[in-house]
C-alpha cells in the first residue's frame, strides 16, 4: 500500500474535483481511531484539509449512508465542511479542524462542557432524518453474541445483558438522526466550538444512544447529568427521561465492552473480569496515554465497561429505572 496519497487514482480524481489540482503541496499521515481508515493532513494552496480513505466496507461502514449523514451534519455546521466525497471509492476530503490546547480551551470555555454537548446533540437530533439501518438494540444483541462466543472472556461474562435488552426493547422508540459513535476521539474542540467527526456509524436510532454516550464520558456526577439533560430538552428532565438515560448508559457500556472484545479476539484474553477501574482508564485517556495502543489495553477497557454495566444492572436502581421508564 503506497504511503503517497495522491498516487492513488481515486485520490487524484478527488483533488482535481475539489481544487483543480492532482498533487499536494504537503501531506502527513495521521493516527486514526479503530476503524482502519487512512487519514492524512494535506495542504493545498497553503490551506490544510483532511483526506480520509475508507477501508473495505461492511454492513455498518457503508459510505453511501455515512456520507449522506455527514453532508446533512456539515450543512448544519456540526461537522467540518465537505470538499469532496465519493462513496464508490471511499475518498473523503473535508476542512481540517485544528484542535485547541485542552487546558487553554477549558479555561476559555464559555459554557461547561455538558452544556456545549447538550446544545450540539439537540442540533444533531433536529436534523432531517438520517437513513435507517438496523434496530440499534438488535444490532447490539448480535454484537454481544459474537463477543460472548469469542472466547476472550470467561463464559457467562455477558449474563446481565438479557435483562437490559428486555427492558430497553420494551420502551417506546424515540428515533432521531443519530451519530451512534460519540466518544472523545470523534469530538473536536477548536477553542471556540465543538465539531463532530467520523460519521460512518450514523443512522436513525434512539435519541438516548447519543445522550448516554456523552453522559458516560462527560457527566461525572448527577449535577452534570442534570445539566446535560436540561440543556438538551430546554427544561429540567422528568423522572422518565432520567430513568431512560440510566438504562441507556448501561447499553452504552455494553456496546463498548462488546466492540472491544470482538476487536481483540485472537490477540488477548482474560480469565476473570478483574482489572483497572473505568474511572482510572478514563483518567489515563484524558492524560493522553496510548491506552488503546495495545490489545491488553483495549481488553482492560472492555472489561471495565462490562464490569460497570453488570454492577449497575444488578443494582436496585436498575429495577427502579426500568419501572419508571416503562
- Quick: pLDDT tens for 261-278: 999 999 999 999 999 999
**Per-residue pLDDT averaged across 252-264, rounded?**
97
pLDDT score of 1 = 44
- Closest listed residue to residue 80, CA positions, set 119, 54, 48: 48
When pLDDT is cut at 50, 70 and 90, the band that residue 22 belongs to is confident
Q: Is the alpha carbon torsion for 256, 266, 198, 280 positive or negative? A: positive
| 298-310: b (≥16 Cβ within 10 Å) or e | bbbbbbbbbbbbb
Rounded mean pLDDT of the chain? 93
pTM of the complete model: 0.93
Q: Is the alpha carbon torsion for 166, 171, 172, 177 positive or negative? A: negative
State what percent of residues in the chain have pLDDT above 90. 86
Question: 10 Å Cβ neighbour count for 230?
Answer: 15
E runs forming strands in 127-273 = 175-178, 187-189, 194-196, 203-206
Report the alpha-carbon distance of residue 266 to residue 288 in Å, rounded. 27
pLDDT score of 55 = 75
The yes-or-no verdict on residue 93 having pLDDT over 70 is: yes
**Per-residue pLDDT averaged across 176-193, rounded?**
95
**Per-residue pLDDT averaged across 159-163, rounded?**
98
Size (the chain), residues: 326
pLDDT score of 21 = 87
Provide the grid cell at 304. Answer: 471495565
**Per-residue pLDDT averaged across 207-235, rounded?**
97
**Per-residue pLDDT averaged across 21-27, rounded?**
89
When pLDDT is cut at 50, 70 and 90, the band that residue 286 belongs to is confident
pLDDT score of 3 = 67
When pLDDT is cut at 50, 70 and 90, the band that residue 6 belongs to is confident
pLDDT score of 33 = 63
**Per-residue pLDDT averaged across 217-222, rounded?**
94
The yes-or-no verdict on residue 23 having pLDDT over 80 is: yes
Return the SS3 of 115: helix
45-49, 58-62, 286-290, 317-321: the lowest-pLDDT one: 58-62
Which domains does the chain carry? 5-95 (3.30.200.20), 102-325 (3.90.1200.10)
- Closest listed residue to residue 120, CA positions, set 175, 35, 200, 186: 186
Report the alpha-carbon distance of residue 300 to residue 260 in Å, rounded. 9
Place of cell 443512522: 203
Return the SS3 of 92: strand
**Per-residue pLDDT averaged across 310-323, rounded?**
97
- CB of 251 within 8 A of CB of 313? no
- CB of 136 within 8 A of CB of 205? yes
Amino acid at each position: 500500500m503506497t504511503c503517497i496519497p495522491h498516487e492513488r487514482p481515486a485520490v487524484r480524481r478527488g483533488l482535481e474535483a475539489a481544487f483543480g489540482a492532482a498533487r499536494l503541496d504537503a501531506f502527513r499521515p495521521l493516527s486514526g481511531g479503530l476503524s482502519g481508515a487512512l487519514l492524512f493532513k494535506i495542504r493545498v494552496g497553503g490551506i490544510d484539509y483532511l483526506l480520509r480513505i475508507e477501508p473495505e466496507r461492511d454492513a455498518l461502514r457503508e459510505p453511501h449512508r455515512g456520507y449522506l449523514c455527514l453532508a446533512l451534519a456539515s450543512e448544519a455546521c456540526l461537522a467540518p465542511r465537505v470538499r469532496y466525497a465519493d462513496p464508490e471509492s471511499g475518498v473523503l476530503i473535508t476542512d481540517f479542524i485544528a484542535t485547541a490546547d485542552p487546558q487553554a480551551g477549558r479555561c476559555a470555555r464559555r459554557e461547561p462542557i455538558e452544556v456545549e454537548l447538550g446544545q450540539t446533540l439537540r442540533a444533531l437530533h433536529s436534523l432531517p432524518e438520517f437513513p435507517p439501518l438496523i434496530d440499534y438494540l438488535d444490532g447490539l444483541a448480535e454484537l454481544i453474541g459474537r463477543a460472548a462466543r469469542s472466547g476472550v472472556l470467561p463464559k457467562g461474562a455477558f449474563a446481565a445483558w438479557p435483562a437490559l435488552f428486555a427492558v430497553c426493547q420494551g420502551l417506546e422508540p424515540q428515533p432521531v438522526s443519530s451519530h451512534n459513535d460519540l466518544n472523545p476521539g470523534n469530538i473536536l474542540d477548536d477553542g471556540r466550538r465543538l465539531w463532530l467527526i467520523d460519521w460512518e456509524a450514523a443512522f436513525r436510532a434512539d435519541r438516548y444512544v447519543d445522550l448516554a454516550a456523552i453522559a458516560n464520558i462527560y457527566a461525572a456526577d448527577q449535577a452534570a447529568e442534570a445539566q446535560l439533560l436540561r440543556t438538551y430538552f430546554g427544561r429540567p428532565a422528568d423522572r422518565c427521561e432520567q430513568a431512560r438515560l440510566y438504562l441507556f448508559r448501561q447499553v452504552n457500556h455494553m456496546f463498548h465492552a462488546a466492540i472491544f472484545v470482538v476487536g481483540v479476539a485472537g490477540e488477548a484474553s482474560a480469565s476473570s473480569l478483574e482489572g483497572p477501574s473505568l474511572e482510572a482508564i478514563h483518567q489515563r485517556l484524558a492524560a493522553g496515554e496510548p491506552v488503546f495502543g495495545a490489545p491488553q489495553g483495549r481488553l482492560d477497557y472492555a472489561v471495565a465497561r462490562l464490569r460497570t454495566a453488570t454492577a449497575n444492572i444488578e443494582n436496585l436502581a436498575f429495577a427502579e429505572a426500568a419501572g419508571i421508564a416503562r
